[in-house]
Structures are given as structure tokens and as C-alpha cells.
């Protein structure tokens, strides 16, 4: 993948275009590209969930951008999680030897992580901090609302990937 992963792309875009890494002051990617990538990433998650497979470690560095500019989700085996992108219910048990956290990975834990990735994409950042801060004023309210739903404290309130895909305008 000559373009690398999503985290690399976001870092390179800011380095090449001027803003320092992590400054978050300038948005560089066209919204149409961001929305297309958000839909592609969400479609990948929806396809996994359709066969009752769960990623467990959805994060920007697990999204590759191919030579055609398409976003591809990788690393489908839940053998570890990245704390920064993990759902709170996973973080609560990850160090408890009584739990095999891999068995606790569900569609709804994936949806939480996906929401964080979609926020990072919209904001063109590799750093995710809670509560979310929306600096990009061009991000549509419907997109922001969809991301916020993914981060619901009650995992039963999070949307399914297929529902999120429709919220993002995909057909």
C-alpha cells in the first residue's frame, strides 16, 4: 500500500502542507474524500459484523489507503487492543485475569472504536481525546451526531454498522 495507513496519510498531509503535526489548525482533505473513506471503513466493519466477526482493534493505523485512494480495513484478529481506541467496557476488564477480553469483543465495542476513528478522520488528527472536540466547522452535523452515537456510554445505544453506514449516506 504505497499511501500507507490512515494515520500516516493524515500525518504526511499536515507535514507536506504546512501545519505542524498535532496542531489541528488547518483542514486539508476535501470533505468528499473524508466521507468516502468513512463510508468505506464503515462498510468494512459492517461486512465483518454480517458474518459475526469482530475486529477488536479498529484504529487509524489499521486502515490502509490503496493506490486508488480507497480505504481498506485490516487486522481482523482480536489479539490485542489499543487503549486509545478501546471501548470503556473493554478497558474496564482488560487487566482482569478473570476475563479473556477477546471473548468480550462485540459489534458494539467495535462501533465505539469506529466512532473514534471517524472523528480522527474528520478532524485530520492522529490523537483522539475525550470528550471529543470538533474544530472542523465544515463537518456536517449529521456526521457529528453519528459519531457521538457510536460513543454512547451504554453500548446498547450504539448503532449497528449498517445503520451507521446509512447515516453516512451510503447506499
- Residue 25 has what pLDDT? 47
Supply the DSSP string of 100-118, one letter for each residue.
Answer: -HHHH--HHHHHHHHHHHH
Give the range of the structural domain holding residue 10, as residue numbers without chain letter.
6-15+29-167
Lowest pLDDT segment from 2-6, 98-102, 113-117: 98-102
Residue 40 lies in a domain: yes
Residue 24 lies in a domain: no
Residue 112 lies in a domain: yes
Instruction: Report the 10 Å Cβ neighbour count for 5.
Output: 19
| C-alpha span between 101 and 81 (Å, rounded) | 9
Mean pLDDT computed over 62-68: 93
pLDDT digits (tens, 9 = 90+) for 133-148: 999 889 999 999 999 9
Average pLDDT, the chain: 88
In 60-104, alpha helices (H): 88-91, 101-104
Residue 23 lies in a domain: no
Please report which confidence band the pLDDT of residue 26 belongs to, taking 50, 70 and 90 as the band edges: low
Give the torsion through C-alpha atoms of 155, 132, 169, 41, to 10 deg: -70
Residue 79 lies in a domain: yes
Supply the DSSP string of 33-55, one letter for each residue.
Answer: HHHHHHHHHHHHHHHHHHTT---
Please report which confidence band the pLDDT of residue 114 belongs to, taking 50, 70 and 90 as the band edges: very high
Q: Is 57 designated active site?
A: yes
Between 152 and 2, where is the model more confident?
Answer: 152
pTM of the predicted model as reported, rounded to 2 decimal places: 0.89
Helix and strand numbers, DSSP H then E, in the chain:
7, 2
Q: Are 8 and 40 in contact (CB under 8 A)?
A: no
Which phi and psi (to 5°) does residue 67 adopt? -65, -20
Residue 1 lies in a domain: no
Share of the chain above pLDDT 70, in %: 88
Selecting among 5, 30, 57, 96, the annotated active-site residue is: 57
Residue 1, pLDDT > 70, answer no
Residue 63 lies in a domain: yes
Number of domains within the chain: 1
Residue 21 lies in a domain: no
How far out from the chain centre does Cα 21 lie? 19
For position 50, which CATH number holds?
1.10.510.10
Residue 84, pLDDT > 80, answer yes
Give CA angle at 21 (139, 41), nearest 5°.
Answer: 45
Amino acid at each position: 500500500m504505497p499511501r500507507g495507513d490512515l494515520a500516516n496519510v493524515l500525518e504526511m498531509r499536515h507535514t507536506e502542507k504546512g501545519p505542524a503535526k498535532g496542531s489541528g489548525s488547518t483542514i486539508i482533505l476535501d470533505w468528499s474524500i473524508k466521507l468516502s473513506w468513512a463510508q468505506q471503513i464503515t462498510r468494512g466493519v459492517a461486512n465483518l459484523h454480517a458474518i459475526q466477526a469482530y475486529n477488536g482493534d479498529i484504529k487509524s493505523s489499521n486502515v490502509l489507503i490503496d493506490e486508488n485512494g480507497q480505504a481498506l480495513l485490516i487486522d481482523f484478529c482480536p489479539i490485542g487492543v489499543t487503549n486509545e481506541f478501546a471501548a470503556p467496557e473493554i478497558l474496564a476488564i482488560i487487566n482482569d485475569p478473570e476475563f479473556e477480553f477477546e471473548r468480550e469483543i462485540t459489534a458494539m465495542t467495535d462501533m465505539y472504536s469506529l466512532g473514534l476513528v471517524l472523528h480522527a478522520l474528520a478532524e485530520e488528527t492522529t490523537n483522539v481525546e475525550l470528550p471529543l472536540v470538533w474544530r472542523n466547522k465544515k463537518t456536517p452535523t449529521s456526521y457529528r451526531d453519528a459519531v457521538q452515537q457510536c460513543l454512547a456510554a451504554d453500548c446498547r445505544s450504539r448503532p449497528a454498522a449498517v445503520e451507521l453506514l446509512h447515516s453516512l449516506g451510503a447506499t
